[in-house]
Amino acid sequence: MAKDLTEVEMQYKYKGNGSFEPSIPIERYLYEIIKIYGPITRSKLRKLTGIPRTTIYDCLIRLLLQKRIRKFPIHSKKPGRPRIFYEVIRENVVPNQGFDA
């Protein structure tokens, strides 16, 4: 995860309350971040973007329902819950289709 800041991260600044400067739908922003850094956990998304975990969770649910991303568990050798990762579903999708402006 030691990548340089991406174009997406440099171009947009999170202002809180689900808004960015300049304006971009939050689902579109998270989709782009997942596409670049995925597979990625919700915790890493929060640390990377500064977006509150509840907002990230709500957006991930919407992206899952739109079938833009998928989630999958990775079990460790330690007892406890598996880590849940998210990644973009690779499909021939028209850019910006389905994302509100």
Please state, as a whole number, how many other Cβ atoms lie within 10 Å of the Cβ of residue 50.
Answer: 10
Residue 57's pLDDT is what?
96
Residue 44's pLDDT is what?
94
pLDDT exceeds cutoff 60 at 51: yes
* pTM (whole model) above 0.85: no
Residue 53's pLDDT is what?
92
| Average pLDDT of the chain, as a whole number | 82
Instruction: Evaluate whether 46 touches 56 at the Cβ level (below 8 Å).
Output: yes
What does the pLDDT average to over 51-79? 93
Domains of the chain: 12-88 (1.10.10.10)
